[in-house]
Structures are given as structure tokens and as C-alpha cells.
Structure 1
Amino acid sequence: MHTPPPHQALLIDTPLPFSQRSRPLGRRDYRTLALAALGGMLEFYDFVIFVFFTSVIGTLFFPPSSPEWLRQLQTFGIFAIGYFIRPVGGVVMAHFGDVLGRKKMFTLSVLLMSVPTLLIGMLPPYAQIGFAAPLLLLAMRVLQGAAVGGEVPGAWVFVAEHVPRRHVGFACGTLTGGLTAGILLGSLIATGINAAFTRNEILAYAWRLPFLAGGVFGIAAMFLRRWLEETPVFRELQANREIASELPLRTVLRSHWRGVALSMTLTWALSAVIIVTVLMMPALMQKSFHLPAADTLVGNSIATVALTIGCVVAGALSDRMGPRIVLTCGAVLLAASFTWFYCQLSAGAPLGAWLFSYTATGFAVGMIGAIPLMMVRAFPPAIRFSGISFSYNVAYAIFGGLTPILIALANTVTARAPVIYVVALCAVAILAALCHRGRTHEDE
């Protein structure tokens, strides 16, 4: 049998057997989705729980003689390191995922996240070991950033290559919903800790509990992932000797720049929309509209639940209607619902009124559930992990880091800055969907 040269083998879309393409979802598929979504939720929880305890961490891990604003700045700086290191960790893990297998990296990413999370919960504070405390904390965040850089793209690739082609959108949407559920879990745990313990108890020991729990459950998730099997697509690549023979990233940048451009644009929309509408909104609502913190946190939790549901719905609809249509309709709905939400806040609407529009906004943000399917199809199997990982992590590091700064600066000029930015991102998402034409790399 003729074996294609290595440079041609990279561009081959490995076909799956007909039974693999057309069969319905079975028990093994649902188990794979459940374990992948559970691990992703716990990993995202481990990554974001840090931000809910920045005040406590700043107090414990930096010199008490430092001004409060400086301690907070240093703490947020350590948190941001996790974002900036994502491209490095993601590219390295994706390289080995394309060469050695998806499952190995999929399991490693959970371990690389859960162990540092567990260790953060055990770190001695500044009062005991001095400047070694923030340095150790920084090292743990570097490992966490590397882990999350490999987890998200690796999880999308893993589930996309496991399920039948006609259910890939549902699988990726479900997984994305699991990731957003990790943010909700972190928020609920932080709220529970602050309600159950006094400030002194939290400073003394209670702040450690969410980190210790996250680490333990993360390690348990790693052992559960050991029961998963390698993807059929990668096994087919191995059988046909189509594993990348050169650096996968080099092939991505040389021959698949259109896929990179599309994926980075979609990641910009994905990351910035979540940051503005979910992560930043409680603080913006309190600052710009003087709403009670309790009301904003309740609204944010409900909107995040709607977001999780929206991701699954968007993924399922993408299988039936195509991701371009779902993304376009979702972007229009998001622009309308978020504008409506802000108009109600500006008019001083009661809790029940703006809570409904905020929930609708959260559901509309679920349009991001269609994005992973477009990114999976943008690259051939042999370099898929590297293509998605590079595009996603570089774009997330840039726009994830710049978006809060841009919103904070623009908000000093107009309180509608978040609306303007989100509507602009919706236009970007629609443009990307409309421009996404031509051949896609489906496993068929």
C-alpha cells in the first residue's frame, strides 16, 4: 500500500468507518462526555477559585506593611500570570497530543491543575516564610496556567473525535457548558465560605478549604479519566502512519493560517463576551448602578446557569442547522438582550425586571457553544490539537488580559462601554461566521 509523504500526510482528513459516523450516541459516548465535562468543570473551578479570594490571599501572602492597593495589584498580577502562560503550556501539550495521543495529555492536564491547587491550600503565609510565600504562589499559578492551556483545546478535540460526526456540536457544546459550570461552582463555593465563616476564621484557615477540595476532586477526576479510551481518529492516524513527522505547529502556521485567523477571531469573541457579561458584571453593576452586592451575585449565578444551558442548546442546534447559523442568530440575540439589560439598569428597574433580561443575556452568551465545532473543523486531524491550542490560547492571553483594562478605562467615559464592546464583538462573530466558507476538515 502506498504511504503518502509526511508533508502530504499532514493534510489528509482521516475517514472514520461508516458505523462510527452514523451511529447514535451510546453509553460509552455519554460516559466520555460526562467524564470530560466533569474534569473540565473541576479544572476551571481550580483555575478561577483564586480570583474569589484575592483579598484574603493579598493579606496573607504579601508584606502587611504594603498598602492595600499594592497587595491587591500584586495578587491580581499573580492571577494574570496564569493567563499569560497559557499559550506556552497549551502549545507544548498540544504538540505531544498530536504526536503521542489525545488521552495522555487529556489526563495530564487535570493532574497538572489539581496538584498545584492542592498545594496552594497548604502553602504557609508570608508571616511564616517571608517572600518565599508569594514566589511559591506564583509557581503554582504558572503550573495552573499551563494546565488550563492544554485542557480546553484538548477536551474539545477529545470529545469531537470520540462521538459520531453528526453529534460533534452537541459534544463540544456540552463540554463548554461544563467549563462554564466550573465558574459557577467557584462563585457558589466562595459565597458559601463567606457566609459560613467569619473574616478572622477565613484568614486563619477557611480560605484553604476550597483549594484543598478542588485539588482532591481534581485528582479523583484524573483517575476517572484513566478509564477513557484513545480517540478513534488518533488510532486511525497511528494505523495509517499519518502522525505528524515534523513540528505540528510549524505546519499549522505554514499551511493553515486561515484556520488560525478564524479560530483567533472566534476566541476573541468567546473570551471577551464571557469576561464582560459574566466575570465583570457584578462589580460593574455595583459600581455604575449602585446595586446591592447580594442582588448582583444572585443575578450573576442565574445568568451563569442560563449560559451553561445555552452552550448545550447551541451545540445541539449546530448539528442540525450548522454552527454558522447558530452563531449568527446567537450574536443577534446577545446584542439585543444585553442592550435591553443595560437599559433596564440605567432606568433603575426592579430586581425582577433586570434579572429576566440578564438571564436572557446569559442564555444568549451560550452561542459560544457553536464555536468549538467551527474550530474543530478548521484543522485536519493530524495537527488539530496544535492548531486549536495555538489559536485559542494566544488569542485568550491577548484579549482575556486586555478586555478588563479596556472596559475599565472606557467605563470612565461612558457607563455604556460594556454594551458598546459586546455589540461590537457580536458584529465580529457574525462577520467571522459569514466569512467561514469553503472546505472544512470533518472526519467523514
Structure 2
Amino acid sequence: MATEPADTSHARRVAIASAIGTIIEFYEFSIYATAAALVFSRTFFPSLGGLQGTVVAFATFGVAFVVRPLGAVVFGHLGDRKGRKNTLVWSLLLMGVATIGIGLLPSAATIGVAAPVLLVALRIVQGLALGGEWAGASLMTTESSPAGKRAKYGIGPQLGPAIGFILSSVTFLVVTATLSPEQFVAWGWRVPFLASAVLIVIGFVIRVRLHESPVFASDATVIEKSTRLPMSELFSRQLRVLLLASGGSIALFALFYVVVAFLPTYGTQTLGFSQSAVLLVSIGGAIVGGVTVVISAVLSDRLGRKRVLLPANVLCLIAALLFFPVISAGHIAWYVTGVFVLQAAVGAAYGPLAAFLPELFATRYRYTGAGLAYNIATVLGASLTPIVAAVLISSYGAWAVTIYLVALCLVTLACLAASRETARTGLVTDSATQSDAAVPAP
């Protein structure tokens, strides 16, 4: 069994570094979601127009989710075999190159069909990079934190989506406020993508200064000799755990990306709110979600992961039932209420995951296991949800989307109920001892 770290100052440095890197990557991922909702149907798919153009734009958004499990496998293999730190540096650089590439990509009016083809290719690169990001950042904090405080120090990576989304929304808000609609469609949407170059340099400098995870470093020799294919060992020893972990995160991703990717279009085109109002509400909702991330993470260290995750996902179920009836009431106040309540529930369900998912798997394939569980959940919960929501709204109305989201919440609750508690377990190397039975912390 690996010796768990007790250096809280080092744990804080790792948590801050992981948070900054994750914020940058989710900023870059979120600006794509916002651009897909606001402008990509006109820039890259002008011949389709209307609903078809929006659906195809969302499909390019979903492509990255489909390849994220592949990114989890590739980066997970490298992270489990060669270490966490360098793998995180490469995931950041790969995301940065793809994001700047999108910002420089000519429109369909300039290069024709090559534009959407290149857009999809760059989106795939983004997905591969993000597939390796979250697990690496979470493992660095989890494996550098004292036992009993892993979720507290893991708050950093969990704030990445909220803060990254806030930064991307603020950037778009400033751009849309200072440019005419024609200028925004012509070139203004590119500014947030190109501005990410500054963030990439900052993140790179921070990450190259990190030390390797102490848990991995202490077991590196054993891992190098015994684990040639982490994914194969994961499947042979903890497949059931992987499936339950994946299913236990589906609902929160579906609900989060309804707000991030689908709601900007629904709020402006269907409900008739201004683009600025929708972005401001989204920013406020992300702040609310960030607060509940912190609260739920800290509580999970004290009460246990499942005692926080199960009630949080019940809240997600209730929020899913009420969301569309509330925001469709026609007044901006109801729209704000629906978004804030949904984001609060999502944040509560998301907070403990940086500790919960890594705790489920042995060190020798922890990067692969946590990364796959997280990214399979995003494929099942997030990649199709904006597309399905757009189609269901058009064909049947908002009630059909509600049923879809409620079904995902029920799947998540069932998987969490069947999972084991991990808050009081140690981080072990020997996969033979890391099963459904809890392993007491040293």
C-alpha cells in the first residue's frame, strides 16, 4: 500500500496548479460550446440554416465527447506508466494548439467544405486533450493530499468547468457588447479562441514546475515492472466498478451541458431573451454551481461520498423535472430561477468526484480508470444531450426533454446506490486488493 502524503503545503500548491490548468482547458472547451450555440451554424454550415444548422453545429460539439474516452485511454496509459505530471503538460499543449487553430480557421464562405471538415478535426484534437485532463489533474491533487481531506484539496479541478465557463461567457459578453452583430459573426467570435494563447503560456509555466505525484513516485518501480497495459488490467479486475462509476456521473453532465451548450440557443431563439441577458444568467448560474461544488466536496470528506452524492443527485432529478416548466414561464426572473437551481444541483453532484472516482481504482491503473469513468459519463450524458434536446423540443416540446433528463437521473441514482463508499479508504497500488470491498486508510 502506498504511503499517503501529509505535506499540506505541497498539497495546496498542487491543488492550485491543477485548478489553473483545468480552468484553462475548460475555458477553451466552453468557448467552443458558446460559439457553436451562437454563431457556428452561420459560419461553417450556412447552407443548412435554422434548426438543421444548429443541430449540426451541436454535433461538432458532441464529436469531442465521443473521442474523449480514447483520450482517457491514451493519456491514461501514459500517466499510469510514465507519470502524471508530464502527461498533464502535453494535454494542455494539445488543447491549446487545437483551440488557437479553430480561432484561425477560415469560414465556409472562404474555403468551402474544407472549413467544417477542419473544424471537426480540430474538435477531435480538443476532445483527445480534455479526455486526459480531468483525470490527471484530479489524481495529482488526490495523490498529494492527506487522507481524510482528498475532496477538499480536489476542489480545484472541480471548479475548472464553472470558472472556465464564466471566463468564456465574460469574454463573449465583452466581445458582443463592443461589436455589431455583423462584426461578431464575421470575426469577433474568433477573439476568445485566440486570447487563450495567453492562458496556455501561464498554464504551461505552472505545470512544468510541479513535482510528480508522491503516491505514484513511491510506487513507480513496481508499476513499471508489473503494469504494461493498465486498461487491460482495469477491465479484468474492476470492470463492474468502472461501469458503476461511469453511470453514477451521467446525469450531472447532461444537465450541465444543457445549460452550457443548449440553453444559449433556446433562451435567445425560443424564449426571446437577449444574447447578453442569457450570457449574464449563465455566468450567475456558474457562480452558484461553483459555490455548491465547494460545499459538497468539503461535506463529503466529513460525511462520506455517497451520503453527499445521493442527495445531490436527487436534487438533480427534482431540478430536471421543474427546469423547462420554470424557465418557459416567459419572464426573465423565472429563467434565472431555473438556471440557478439546476446549476446548484449540478455543482453539488460534481464536487466530490475528484476524490470519489480516483479512490475507486488502484494506483497502477488509476489514471486510466478515473479518466475512462469520467469520460464515458460525458459521452453518455453530455455529447448527445444538446442534440437530443434540440430535436425533442422541435418535435414534441419541452416535456420530452424533461422525460429524457429524468431517465438519466434515475440511471445515475441506481449506479450510485450500487457503488461502495470510498471516503475512508486508502489509495492502494495492488489491484488485487482494490475491489468492491473498502480498504481501510492507514
Equivalents in 1 of 2:301, 2:157: separation in Å? Answer: 15
Match of 2:92 among 88, 94, 110: 110
Any idea what the Cα deviations from partners look like across 1:275-311, whole Å, max 9, x if unmatched?
2345433444556655555444332221111111211
Distance 1:120 1:443, change over 3 A: farther
Report what 1:298 is aligned to: 280
Report what 2:345 is aligned to: 364
Following TM superposition, by how much is the alpha carbon of 1:33 offset from its aligned partner in structure 2, in angstroms?
A: 1.3
Equivalents in 2 of 1:144, 1:203: separation in Å? Answer: 22
Following TM superposition, by how much is the alpha carbon of 1:228 offset from its aligned partner in structure 2, in angstroms?
A: 0.7
The 5-angstrom pairing of residues 157-176 of structure 1 reads: 157-176=139-158
- Whether contact under 8 Å (1:97, 1:105) holds in the other structure is yes
Report what 2:303 is aligned to: 321
- Normalization by structure 2: what TM-score? 0.86
Following TM superposition, by how much is the alpha carbon of 1:319 offset from its aligned partner in structure 2, in angstroms?
A: 0.6
Report what 1:47 is aligned to: 29
Q: Give SS of 1:280's match.
A: helix
Distance 1:276 1:223, change over 3 A: same
Question: Which one has the largest radius of gyration?
Answer: 1
- Whether contact under 8 Å (2:150, 2:355) holds in the other structure is yes
Pair 1:123-2:110 in alignment = no
Distance 1:208 1:441, change over 3 A: farther
- Whether contact under 8 Å (1:98, 1:243) holds in the other structure is no
Report what 2:2 is aligned to: 15
Report what 1:90 is aligned to: 72
Distance 1:102 1:277, change over 3 A: same
Report what 1:253 is aligned to: 235
Equivalents in 1 of 2:277, 2:233: separation in Å? Answer: 50
- Whether contact under 8 Å (1:15, 1:443) holds in the other structure is no
The 5-angstrom pairing of residues 57-96 of structure 1 reads: 57-61=40-44, 66-69=47-50, 72=54, 74-96=56-78
Match of 2:18 among 36, 39, 52: 36
Report what 1:202 is aligned to: 184
- Quote the sequence identity (%): 30
Report what 2:437 is aligned to: 439
Following TM superposition, by how much is the alpha carbon of 1:96 offset from its aligned partner in structure 2, in angstroms?
A: 0.8
Gaps of 5+ in 2: 421-435
Equivalents in 2 of 1:327, 1:316: separation in Å? Answer: 12
Report what 2:424 is aligned to: none
Any idea what the Cα deviations from partners look like across 1:370-419, whole Å, max 9, x if unmatched?
23322112111111111122232233223322323433444443533344
Match of 1:134 among 106, 116, 121: 116
Q: Count residues in correspondence.
A: 423
Equivalents in 2 of 1:167, 1:99: separation in Å? Answer: 26
Following TM superposition, by how much is the alpha carbon of 1:127 offset from its aligned partner in structure 2, in angstroms?
A: 4.9
The AA in structure 2 aligned to 1:247 is: L
Distance 1:362 1:243, change over 3 A: farther
Report what 1:155 is aligned to: 137
- Normalization by structure 1: what TM-score? 0.85
Any idea what the Cα deviations from partners look like across 1:81-135, whole Å, max 9, x if unmatched?
2222212222111101000001111111100001121222233444554444433
- Whether contact under 8 Å (1:266, 1:371) holds in the other structure is no
Q: Give SS of 1:397's match.
A: helix
Following TM superposition, by how much is the alpha carbon of 1:148 offset from its aligned partner in structure 2, in angstroms?
A: 0.6
Report what 2:336 is aligned to: 355
Q: Give SS of 1:166's match.
A: coil
Following TM superposition, by how much is the alpha carbon of 1:326 offset from its aligned partner in structure 2, in angstroms?
A: 0.5
Equivalents in 2 of 1:361, 1:131: separation in Å? Answer: 38
Gaps of 5+ in 1: 1-13
Structure 1 window deviating more from structure 2 (104-113 vs 266-275): it is 266-275
Report what 2:433 is aligned to: none
Structure 1 window deviating more from structure 2 (287-296 vs 376-385): it is 287-296
Report what 1:7 is aligned to: none
The AA in structure 2 aligned to 1:205 is: W
Equivalents in 1 of 2:98, 2:280: separation in Å? Answer: 30
Equivalents in 2 of 1:432, 1:67: separation in Å? Answer: 40
Q: Give SS of 2:437's match.
A: coil
Match of 1:396 among 344, 362, 378: 378
Report what 2:400 is aligned to: 417
Following TM superposition, by how much is the alpha carbon of 1:442 offset from its aligned partner in structure 2, in angstroms?
A: 7.3
- Whether contact under 8 Å (1:237, 1:243) holds in the other structure is no
Following TM superposition, by how much is the alpha carbon of 1:339 offset from its aligned partner in structure 2, in angstroms?
A: 4.3
Distance 1:309 1:251, change over 3 A: same
- Whether contact under 8 Å (1:61, 1:126) holds in the other structure is yes
The AA in structure 1 aligned to 2:122 is: M
Report what 1:11 is aligned to: none
